[in-house]
A = this chain, B = another copy of it.
Amino acid sequence: MIRVLLIHDTMLIRSALAALLGGEQDLDVLATAWPHSRGPAADWQAQVCVVDGDGEWSGLPGTAAERMVILTEAGRPGLLRRASQADVRGFVSKDSAPERMIAAIRRVATGERYIDEALAWDFLRAADMPLTSRELAVLAAAAEGAPVAEIAADLHLAGGTVRNYLAAVIRKTGARNRVDAIRIADSAGWL
């Protein structure tokens, strides 16, 4: 039996995914929202942890990245890059058949990697993500609605430097303006 911890913030989706995995004889599933460092999920000693890529999957208490299977939509190369760098081993598209999620769980349980072929193109794009981490930090602050002066104060930068970073982001993303750059970066999963 493979002990699987399924983490999804949304109860209905979590219950539905658990119903789907519950049909497999070799999987023993505990489903939960974000787990606490004490409680049933922490005591579960999961061999594989299936997490929603849209949620807070990094820094899960008691769950090593190399035992994670991340569920994600296509078109999120920034997410794939962050997760790969954290040594996440399993990646499944939310638009794939359930068999792939189940295959990924069995593979990651043996310590191997599983990358859904539906995400191959995004992995290629992830290697080419054009923004620096500082540019991303400035853009993320702008996306929260912070004005330039506040971004500058928060990141210990001059206002002109923040404007330069934003101009670079707009140029690199091919955006028409700041709002467009935020939209592009967000939909690519970089923010």
Contact = CB atoms under 8 A, between A and B. Distances in A.
Interface in A104-127: none
Interface stretch (A37-45, A57-65, A88-96, A130-138): A88-96
Residue from A20, A101, A142 whose CB has the most chain B CB atoms within 10 Å: A20
A122 to B, nearest CB: 16
Contact of A177 (B71, B145, B182): B145
A104 B101 CA distance: 29
A98 B11 CA distance: 8
Given A20-B16, A176-B145, A10 B183 contact: no
A73 interface: yes
A178 B145 CA distance: 8
A179 B177 contact: no
A161 interface: no
Interface residues of A, number: 37
Given A19-B20, A20-B19, A13 B13 contact: yes
A147 B178 CA distance: 10
A175 to B, nearest CB: 6
Contacts of A20: 15-16, 19-20
Nearest to A142: B179
Given A19-B23, A23-B19, A144 B12 contact: no
Contacts of A98: 12, 15-16, 19
Nearest to A9: B95
Interface string A1-22: 0000000011111011101100
Given A11-B95, A12-B93, A145-B183, 10 more contacts: A10-B94, A12-B94, A13-B94, A15-B97, A16-B17, A16-B20, A143-B183, A145-B177, A146-B176, A147-B176
